[in-house]
Amino acid sequence: MTVDIDWKNLGFSYMNLPYRWRAYYKDGEWYKQGLETDNQLHISEGSPALHYGQQAFEGMKAYRTKEGKVQLFRPDQNAKRFQVSAERMMMPKVPVEDFVHAVKEAVKANIDYVPPYESGATLYIRPLLIGVGDNIGVHPATEYIFTVFVMPVGPYFKGGLAPQHFVTSEYDRAAPMGTGGVKVGGNYASSLQPGASAHDEDYADVIYLDPKTHTKIEEIGSSNFYGIERGTHKFVTPKSPSILPSITKFSLLHLAEERLGLEVEQGDCYIDDLDRFEEAGAMGTAAIITPIGSITHKGHRHNFGTGQEVGEITEKLYHELLGIQFGDIEAPEGWIVPVEAD
């Protein structure tokens, strides 16, 4: 089937594709699993997902290779993180193999919408688990819906591999012992206001500091942070229990060490010590790798270099990661899962 889409000018927005994969949970077991065509979820007004935020989600992508094949990037890692989120929200875990199967089936059913190689676009995948059913008390749901839907998207930050500018926020993304380390909607709901304020001031996004002391970088609104240490070229990324453990981050830690021969560190990144880094970037499924041109903190703008160029190591990591995801560079064992069309 030929799909009439301007692949090179896609935004990062919702699109209603023909199929999504769903499973339903009740009385302690999953049932009624398979593809559906209705993009509406029909749930009780008493659903805990609506009142108490009992839900979790993931973000992934499918990539089309030069040969026209379609592949996933480390879906088992998303599945494991999804289980951690579900456990924290007191929801039933989706088995890893069932999660990967659901993702593959949703992609396969909509395979004509996987953007062409070299279009700059990908197929974004959104697994979602919500607590539903008749409920009003503050306790876990007795019924759940697991759904996986997909859509073609362009870059999250426009301009390709181009430096973006960020600003710190006085708001906290998550509490010190809260839900910052899991991928749940409440973390993002609280980021809407500071994110909108940053966009109004022409920043790409917000950088959140640690909620205890407001002295250390923790996370960017839509991604994780890294810095390349001046002189040593060490790849440094913050470590904290309230940071979402990004699959992209752990992949880049591996690639920086094993492919580029860099020393790597998960540790403190103090906002008042940005001179430590000669390069910095945002990393995540949506952001991929986005160079950070500057960070503004308390009215002072700190540029990395001139603030306008892409650092050498950032560029190498970007091309290594994308080369693996699109099948141009050999991946570490187990990182790539093919999606075979029927």
pLDDT at 331: 98
Cβ-based burial of 68 (10 A; exposed 0-12, middle 13-18, buried ≥19): exposed
Query: Catalytic residue at 183?
Result: yes
Convert the pLDDT of each residue in 65-114 to its tens digit.
999 999 999 999 999 999 999 999 999 999 999 999 999 999 999 999 99
Task: Encode pLDDT of 287-300 as tens digits.
Answer: 899 999 999 999 99
Residue spans of the domains in the chain: they are 20-153, 164-326
Residue 158 has pLDDT above 80, yes or no: no
Per-chain mean pLDDT for the chain: 95
Report pLDDT for 180.
Answer: 93
The reported pLDDT for the residue numbered 210 is 95
> Annotated catalytic residue: which of 183, 212, 216, 249?
183
SS3 assignment, position 142: coil
Number of H helices, E strands in the chain: 7, 17
Residue indicated by tokens 């950070």: 292
Is the predicted pLDDT of residue 214 greater than 80, yes or no?
A: yes
pLDDT at 156: 79
Residues in the chain: 342
What does the alpha-carbon distance between residue 186 and residue 240 come to, in Å, rounded to a whole number?
18
For domain 164-326, give the CATH superfamily.
D-amino Acid Aminotransferase, subunit A, domain 2 (3.20.10.10)
CATH of domain 20-153: 3.30.470.10
pLDDT above 90: residue 51: yes
Give residue 157's pLDDT: 77
Which of the residue ranges 15-29, 39-53, 146-160 would you say has the lowest mean pLDDT? 146-160
Q: Quote the CA–CA distance of 304 and 277 in Å, as a whole number.
A: 8
pLDDT confidence tier of residue 161, bands split at 50, 70 and 90:
confident
